[in-house]
Amino acid sequence: MKETVLLFVLTTAVMAQEFEVAAIRPAVEDHNAFITAENDRYLVHNIALKRLIATAFGVDGSEVFGGPNWIATDHWEISAKIPSEYATRQQDQFLKKMVQNLLADRFSLAVHREGREVSGYALVLAKNGPKMSVAKPDEETSLDGGNDGRTMSLKGKNVRMEALAQALAAGGRLVVDRTGLAGGYDFELNWAVADDSSSDVPSIFTAVQEELGLRLESAKLTIQAVLVDRAERPTEN
């Protein structure tokens, strides 16, 4: 009897990793986009399904392959209610599964993992070592980005290098951390949106080296890619 009760509890816990309600509709372009989870609300504004898949499975968008073309071009609005038992706890460990379940239910999403070798970049130490400040152990972690159409920026507080590599990968390049640096660092990074030799704003490669004391070097990377087997546009509600 105890084993039966335990199985029921575990099954219920797994099944409960779903949003209570969720509304999805096509987005209206307003040059703004975000994904946020705060207390009991999960909000998506002007985000393509491909990016949602990447977020749900913990990969970069360049690690998502296949599916119809519209998963990268159509943008969506999502407003979902997080169950109260997950609203004030460690959301991250549950939220990805909730989003996976939502995409499977509303977008008929089916995916599988597959090992692939791809071209990307390794984040490594520059010749003279890092120029970033070592963060205080009890310092709050934050990583904020900006884009004014000409310059992109990142401002980090107590950020680990794996997180920095992921943030740099958001620009469409796959980046992995090979700095060997442990702990968190404080930094500011600014670079040109597009490579332009006439611009006074440095390229991403120059900025990473001059401002952070790191380098982005070309590398062949083995990844566990997410392949989209099926995706359908949802019915708006």
pLDDT one-digit tens code per residue, 3-40: 444 433 333 344 458 899 999 999 988 878 888 887 78
Is 55:42 a contact under the CB 8 Å cutoff?
no
The Cα–Cα gap between 96 and 82 comes to 12
Element housing 7 (H / E) = helix 2-15
Residues 203-233: tens digit of each pLDDT = 999 999 999 999 999 999 888 899 999 999 9
Q: At 20, list the tokens.
A: 């209570």
Q: What is the structure's pLDDT at 198?
A: 56
Element housing 15 (H / E) = helix 2-15
Q: What is the structure's pLDDT at 7?
A: 39
Q: At 107, list the tokens.
A: 């977008």
The Cα–Cα gap between 94 and 98 comes to 6
Q: At 156, list the tokens.
A: 């980090």
Is 154:167 a contact under the CB 8 Å cutoff?
yes
Question: Which residues, 6+ apart, have CB-to-CB distance to 148 below 8 Å?
Answer: none
Q: What is the structure's pLDDT at 103?
A: 97
Write the DSSP assignment of 97-134 as a string of letters: HHHHHHHHHHS--EEEEEEEEEEEEEEEE-TT---SEE
φ, ψ of residue 204 to 5 degrees: the values are -60, -35
Is 167:145 a contact under the CB 8 Å cutoff?
yes
The Cα–Cα gap between 97 and 86 comes to 12
Residue that wins the pLDDT comparison between 86 and 134: 134
Q: What is the structure's pLDDT at 15?
A: 45
Residues 81-109: tens digit of each pLDDT = 988 877 665 456 688 899 999 999 999 99
- pTM of the full structure: 0.64
Q: What is the structure's pLDDT at 95?
A: 87
For the chain, percent of residues with pLDDT exceeding 90: 54
The count of C-alpha atoms lying within 13 angstroms of the C-alpha of 17, restricted to the half-sphere facing its C-beta, is 21
Q: Which residues of 126-161 are buried (b: 16+ CB within 10 A; e: fewer)?
A: eeeebebeebeeeeeeebeeeeeeebbebebbbbbb
Question: Which residues, 6+ apart, have CB-to-CB distance to 3 below 8 Å?
Answer: none
The Cα–Cα gap between 1 and 52 comes to 41
pLDDT band at 235 (very low <50, low <70, confident <90, very high): confident
Answer whether residue 179 shows pLDDT above 80: yes
The 8-class DSSP code of residue 14 comes to: H
